[in-house]
Amino acid sequence: MTELPEKPLWLQRAAIVGVGLLGGSVGMSLRRSGVHVVGYARTESGCRSAVQQGAVDEAFCDLATACRQADVVVIASPVDRIASLVDACAATMADDAMITDVGSTKAKIVAGVADLGATVARRFVAAHPIAGSEKTGVANASRTLLDGKAVILTPGHSPDPGFLQRAREFWRQTGGEVIEMTPEEHDRRLAAVSHLPHLMASLLAGSTEPESLPLVGSGWKDMTRVASGDPAMWTAICDHNRDAILDQIDQFRGALDRLRALVAAEETGELRQWLEAAKARKDQAVAARR
């Protein structure tokens, strides 16, 4: 159980733009500390679900109404819509209110917001909570989803130091553990640990012959779990982070060729060493997250 910090005085009201799995979980996590959470959804039924699931205290279909008086606005939309929503929200918010997001890519979003001009860019602190699921929708949201999870802030060059400090405090209040890096480093590392693995899961799932599906075991099931994710969301991620992902695909392909040579060799000593090194890295990851 994550112990939450004391709620900062400035954080009274948060608006969540897009109350799905992740946005809904952010809302639920904040409500534990008594933050008043307002949701924005495109439809009346979306607003109703958000309230009924306990993700927000109230919800509106009008963006300006949702964002007015918020101390923080969290954009929780697909990555290709984040910059334009930052723009739309900024116009409706108080001058001292901070904007953050949950997008899985960062460089293109940060650049898109920089293009909106310094007045908007200085109050935007880009963020990526490493929490999610192949499931979607507020019905799958959880108030503990962010507890103990890394939240990467990629402020870039733009934001005001005061807003950056608020972003740190805000994300700690969700239960997350804040890490900071440049947008470019984020995109390179996430291409390696998230975007490439996602594509490999889809590749394994899509390549499996239907007649072999009754033979799959727990290994196949776990490896392909994320392939159930939303294709539109992942298309946007690939579009946003194309270069880093292509670079990862090329590195993976080179490693695959080296692995093929190890499997082809009659002498299995090197293959075994390779499997042992991979196991060691995996076991190191398990230990690191304890």
Please report the sign of the dihedral spanned by the C-alpha atoms of residue 183, residue 184, residue 189, residue 190: positive
Q: Which region, judged by CB under 8 A, interacts with its own copies, from 52-60, 91-99, 119-127, 186-194?
A: 186-194
Q: Which region, judged by CB under 8 A, interacts with its own copies, from 30-38, 92-100, 162-170, 214-222?
A: 214-222
The only residue of 8, 160, 169, 220 in contact with its own copies, by rule CB under 8 A: 220
Q: What are phi and psi of 71, to 5 degrees?
A: -85, -25
Does 164 engage in binding with its own copies (CB under 8 A)?
Answer: no
Number of residues that bind its own copies (CB under 8 A): 86
Q: How far apart are CA 158 and CA 92, in angstroms?
A: 20
Does 178 engage in binding with its own copies (CB under 8 A)?
Answer: no
Which residue lies nearer to its own copies by CB, 13 or 186? 186
Smallest gap, in angstroms, from Cβ of residue 140 to its own copies?
13
Contact 35, 8 (CB under 8 A): no
Does 276 engage in binding with its own copies (CB under 8 A)?
Answer: yes
Does 290 engage in binding with its own copies (CB under 8 A)?
Answer: no
Q: Which region, judged by CB under 8 A, interacts with its own copies, from 11-19, 37-45, 55-63, 266-274?
A: 266-274
Q: What are phi and psi of 193, to 5 degrees?
A: -95, -10
Does 209 engage in binding with its own copies (CB under 8 A)?
Answer: yes
Encoded one letter per residue, x for contact with its own copies by CB under 8 A and - for no contact, window 91-130 reads: ---------------------------------------x
* Most distant CA pair in the chain, distance: 69
Q: Which region, judged by CB under 8 A, interacts with its own copies, from 70-78, 109-117, 118-126, 277-285?
A: 277-285
| 3-state secondary structure (DSSP) of residue 20 | coil
Which residue lies nearer to its own copies by CB, 47 or 152? 152
> Could you tell me the CA-to-CA distances from 119 to 92, 98, 113, 160 in Å, in that order?
13, 12, 10, 10
Q: How far apart are CA 231 and CA 236, in angstroms?
A: 9
Does 152 engage in binding with its own copies (CB under 8 A)?
Answer: yes
**Residue 55's Cα: distance from chain center in Å?**
17
- Helices and strands (H, E) in the chain, number of each type: 13, 9
Does 135 engage in binding with its own copies (CB under 8 A)?
Answer: no
Does 179 engage in binding with its own copies (CB under 8 A)?
Answer: yes
Q: Which region, judged by CB under 8 A, interacts with its own copies, from 6-14, 18-26, 86-94, 148-156?
A: 148-156
Q: How far apart are CA 222 and CA 63, in angstroms?
A: 38
187-206 residues in contact with its own copies (CB under 8 A) are 189-190, 192-194, 196-206
Q: How far apart are CA 175 and CA 131, in angstroms?
A: 11
